[in-house]
Chain A
Amino acid sequence: MNKPLFLSKIKEGEEVEIVTINAGAQTTKRLADLGLTSGTKIKVLRKAISGPLEIRIRGSRLALGRGLANKITVKRYLVCATPN
């Protein structure tokens, strides 16, 4: 198994796919209502210094707190997976 890759570690301009969201039940639900569920493709637009991230999702832009981004794991889908 690869180590989980957290959304907070993704660089500006990168496009990734959400794998899991491990926030509290309420927050996870709220994110899902905003269209942020596992399998969703997003692009990291901007990161403030140790602050929130701005992402593009489903045609709109969303700012997420850094702590929250630490609870979301993602995978890169543009890069080919290396064979084992």
Chain B
Amino acid sequence: MRNTKLNIVLAGQTDVGKSVIFNYLTGLHQHIGKWSGQTLERAEGTLYYQGYTMDVLNLPGISSLTNYSAEEIISRKYIAEQKPDFIINVVDATRLEKSLLFTLQLLEMARPTIIGLNMFDLSEKRGLEINLSKLEKILGTPVVPTIATQGKGLTKTLDRGIELLKEKKTLKPLNYGAEVETRLERLTADLKNIKSPYAPRWLAIKLLERDKEVEKIIKRGNPVLLKEAENLCQELEEIHGHDSSIIIAGERCLLVAQIIAKVLKTSESKKISFNEKIDKITCHKIWGYPTMAAVLGIVFFAIFKFGNFISAFLARIYSGWPAAWENFFGHSAWSALSWSAIESALALLDLALPFIIPFYIFLFLLESSGYLARVSFLMDNLMHKMGIHGKACIPLITGLTCNVPACLSCRMMETEREKFITGFLTTLIPCSAKTIVVFGLVGKFVGLGWVLALYLFILFLVLFLGKLTSKTLPGEAVELIMEMPDYKIPKIKTILLQTWFGLKDFIFIAAPLVIILGVIIKAVSLAGWLPLITSWLSPIVVGWLGLPAICGILLIFGVLRKELILVMLAGLLGTTNFAQILTPVQMIVLALVSLLYFPCVATLAVFWREFGWKKTTAVVALELFLAILLGGLAYRILGLFM
């Protein structure tokens, strides 16, 4: 009986079209989960083809299989332990040389592998001529040209995979230079008896690279081998004069360069010059910045305009609902509580539809067109001043609309350290809800100059805190190392799918906590405890911050959604003329505290999931402390001359 259930893995570097292929193969039959013990996303899907049920796992996009990042360790562990029936290695045909560096590492793992030579049409257009049969012969594994965005070549890839399974051919390893190869073979022979899911030759290579994870495995199995590997490493280092891990990487580079010389012919093309032409403006020393400001300005203006329009439209639809609910279910605590749950869910929708969806669409549009990489390039210098690098500007800019997708997009940072610093800073960015509070209070009643002053202050604070955290957190600071992708025309289908998955993330992570907290706060207010809490908070709110006592309640509700601070204030006063109750200084202090004191509960939920409760608590405590400290200082200092 033949086995009809297959386990397939998609592996490849970032930005080679892996996700496009994954989406094409599995459509909406996807399951996005988590890697155990990790915050990384794990995307799986099912596909029915030729009588087979294929479980497809999309490994995270990585640049190598060393142990540089968590993604890389997960990927190689999965390949070794789960022994997928075959691996589809997605390769960017337009950057064959670079992609093959990864392919060599994948082939070292000695699992059946098909090479999907993606963006084949583009490579032809650019005058790159790849000799497929020669490449197939050298690598000893099938090579299939694909055009993922049109779904071309994908079934053929699967066909070749199934063929490969039936043949049961063992993969012939690619040989490296003689000095390395002889030592590898010696070590491989000795490693044959080690019990490990990994292939012996792979273990040998990793030992010569001084891979800490692999050294641990060997130490458990046969510590003597570790000694032998160390001797071999030192021999190599004596010959070459640098670190043996670099020697191995160098061997791969050399091998790839030899392969490229045999299979690739390049003729001068127009496409590259087209890219260069655009880059002459977008990455220009001077003009790059106004271009960036214009592009991002237009995007934000469009999102805000559209968002406010839809938001007002939705508010009109909902406006009659609370009364209708009370009419139907009567006036009781139960009815009020259940309404507050619905209200929280609606509020989430009110954020998602007008702001998050258009924002994601624009973000993915800019990303897949290749422009975001240019923004990172231009912003690297400024980001560096806060101890992080250019890529971090994307989450930070995202934060201006909503901190939730901003927090989620921190996943693009390479190390946990950069991810956390960026995530922490995004929670301080004034999102659209905080902007509503600042403009509604300070902008309307004190003056736009003060709004600007507040924003400049926040910018300064973000710079300062970024520098401070990157100085205090342990670990090697990572410099910008980023591929500059070519400009591409974005594919609408892919963008919509990405938007859908982003939205799903947002709703599923944020919804439970938002609804629970909404109900709790409603229950507290129904129980009549709000005055009690007001009096508890009054030493801080009244005594230190110099605000009216009711602001304590506002700030509690503001945790749910920041704009509630303004909405509740109007509700409690029965008027929107806040000047009747708040002095200009109080308005500035309230706006400042609102900007800093607490991430809203949706952000909190995402932050928690991405970084764990310890870091979340630390960040919240720090921000609360800062808000109170700076608010009180602002009250005293501004009071002197206002």
B377 engages A62 (CB within 8 Å): no
A34 engages B63 (CB within 8 Å): yes
**Which interface class (under 10, 10 to 19, 20 to 34, 35 or more) fits A?**
35 or more
Q: Which of B66, B97, B288, B482 interacts with A35 by CB under 8 Å?
A: B97
Chain A residues numbered 32-64 whose CB sits less than 8 Å from any CB in chain B:
32-35, 37-40, 46-52, 54, 57-64
Q: Which residues of B contact A66 (CB under 8 A)?
A: 380-381, 384
Chain B residues numbered 90-130 whose CB sits less than 8 Å from any CB in chain A:
95-98, 101-102, 105
A29-B249, A30-B64 as given contacts; A35 in contact with B480, CB under 8 Å: no
A82 within 8 A of B: no
Distance of A12 Cα from B618 Cα, bound (Å): 45
B178 within 8 A of A: no
Distance of A60 Cα from B267 Cα, bound (Å): 16
Minimum Cβ distance to chain B for residue A17 (Å): 13
A30 nearest CB neighbor, chain B only: B68
Q: Which of B98, B377, B380, B390 interacts with A59 by CB under 8 Å?
A: B98
A49 engages B64 (CB within 8 Å): no
Q: Which of B96, B101, B285, B288 interacts with A34 by CB under 8 Å?
A: B101
A33-B66, A35-B253 as given contacts; A68 in contact with B480, CB under 8 Å: yes
Q: Which residues of B contact A48 (CB under 8 A)?
A: 283, 285, 288, 377-378, 380-381
B283 engages A54 (CB within 8 Å): yes
A39 nearest CB neighbor, chain B only: B250
Minimum Cβ distance to chain A for residue B474 (Å): 13
A26 within 8 A of B: yes
Distance of A25 Cα from B105 Cα, bound (Å): 19
A63 engages B250 (CB within 8 Å): no
Q: Which residues of B contact A58 (CB under 8 A)?
A: 95, 97-98, 253, 256-257
Q: Which of A29, A37, A40, A54 interacts with B66 by CB under 8 Å?
A: A29
B484 within 8 A of A: yes
A64-B480, A67-B479 as given contacts; A51 in contact with B378, CB under 8 Å: yes
B481 engages A31 (CB within 8 Å): yes
Distance of A18 Cα from B522 Cα, bound (Å): 65
Minimum Cβ distance to chain B for residue A31 (Å): 7
A83 within 8 A of B: no
A33-B101, A33-B249 as given contacts; A61 in contact with B381, CB under 8 Å: no
Chain B residues numbered 67-102 whose CB sits less than 8 Å from any CB in chain A:
68, 95-98, 101-102
Chain B residues numbered 271-296 whose CB sits less than 8 Å from any CB in chain A:
279, 283, 285, 288
B377 engages A40 (CB within 8 Å): no
A37 nearest CB neighbor, chain B only: B250
A63 engages B249 (CB within 8 Å): no
Distance of A80 Cα from B561 Cα, bound (Å): 67
B481 engages A30 (CB within 8 Å): yes
Residue-by-residue, is B376-391 near A (CB-CB < 8 Å gives 1, otherwise 0)?
1110110010000110
A67 engages B390 (CB within 8 Å): no
A65 engages B101 (CB within 8 Å): no
B483 within 8 A of A: yes
Q: Which of A35, A61, A65 interacts with B256 by CB under 8 Å?
A: A35
A39-B250, A48-B377 as given contacts; A60 in contact with B483, CB under 8 Å: yes
Q: Which of B95, B246, B253 interacts with A29 by CB under 8 Å?
A: B246
B97 engages A65 (CB within 8 Å): no
Q: Which residues of B contact A37 (CB under 8 A)?
A: 246, 249-250, 253
B377 engages A50 (CB within 8 Å): no
A49 engages B285 (CB within 8 Å): yes
Distance of A27 Cα from B483 Cα, bound (Å): 15
Q: Which residues of A contact B96 (CB under 8 A)?
A: 59
**A-B pairs with beta carbons under 8 Å apart, 22 shown:** A27-B479, A29-B66, A33-B68, A33-B249, A35-B98, A35-B253, A37-B249, A37-B253, A46-B283, A47-B285, A48-B377, A49-B285, A52-B390, A58-B95, A60-B484, A61-B483, A61-B484, A62-B482, A63-B482, A65-B380, A65-B389, A68-B479
Which A residues form the contact surface with B (CB < 8 A)?
A: 23-35, 37-40, 46-52, 54, 57-68
3 closest cross-chain pairs (CB), A and B: A32-B249, A65-B479, A33-B64
Which B residues form the contact surface with A (CB < 8 A)?
A: 63-64, 66, 68, 95-98, 101-102, 105, 242-243, 245-246, 249-250, 253, 256-257, 260, 279, 283, 285, 288, 373, 376-378, 380-381, 384, 389-390, 476, 478-484
**Extra contacts besides A30-B481, A33-B105, A48-B381 (5): CB < 8 Å:** A52-B377, A59-B97, A61-B483, A62-B482, A64-B480
